[in-house]
Amino acid sequence: MPTPLTATQRYIAPGTTKYYYATSCADITAPLRAEMEAGTDLTKEVAAADGWSVAADRVATPDLGSKFTGRIGGRVNPGDASINFHASKTTADVRTLLHRDDTGYVFVLHGGDVPGQTMDVYKVDVSSVSKPTNVDGGENARVMVSFSINDVAENVTIPALS
């Protein structure tokens, strides 16, 4: 009988997952706590986040010996990453922090800011800061920030608290 996968400690993202933004990080594979603390905790203003992942393209490998076409992993590409933030009627919201063409780092701490656990670190450029309008009034006003991911380090150990 195969060994079972270790049982998980299940959670929901609200109240647990953290999003931080910093303008500098010398090594995304081993960020310093000081670099994280010099940034901004975005968590309480995040309404939705999408595209914070990387995946390999699938490359077809046909040959004349079979009608079956296998696939292999190809180049690794980031998703189209964005974060929807809550907007403020006074415009004192994420628009005071992030602007088109800004360069920085997004830290995604899925299990919370727990030293020794892991997080993903993305080197990003802000590609747009838009203000979509929901005309039916079904949700609060939002500011959508789109990011181009330039580099990523996955499953990076969260550094100890200062």
Question: Which CATH number is 123's domain given?
Answer: 2.40.30
Q: What does pTM read for this prediction?
A: 0.90
Q: Give the count of beta carbons closer than 10 Å to the beta carbon of residue 31.
A: 24
In a domain, 7, yes or no: no
In a domain, 112, yes or no: yes
Parent domain of 120: 18-157
Domain count, the chain: 1
Structure tokens at 158: 């969260």
Q: Give the count of beta carbons closer than 10 Å to the beta carbon of residue 97.
A: 18
**pLDDT value at residue 158:** 98
In a domain, 3, yes or no: no
Which DSSP string corresponds to 71-122?
EEEEEEEE--EEEEEE--TTS-SGGGT--TT-EEEEEEETT-S-TTSEEEEE
pLDDT in tens, 20-79: 999 999 999 999 999 999 999 999 999 999 999 999 999 999 999 999 999 999 998 898
pLDDT in tens, 79-127: 899 999 999 999 999 999 999 999 999 999 999 999 999 999 999 999 9
Scan for tokens 């990453």, then name that residue: 81
In a domain, 1, yes or no: no
Helices (H), 21-90: 33-37
In a domain, 9, yes or no: no
In a domain, 5, yes or no: no
Cβ(43)–Cβ(18) below 8 Å: yes
CA pair distance 10, 8, nearest whole angstrom = 6
Confidence of residue 9 (pLDDT cuts 50, 70, 90): confident
133 pLDDT above the threshold of 90: no
CA pair distance 104, 52, nearest whole angstrom = 15
CA pair distance 47, 16, nearest whole angstrom = 14
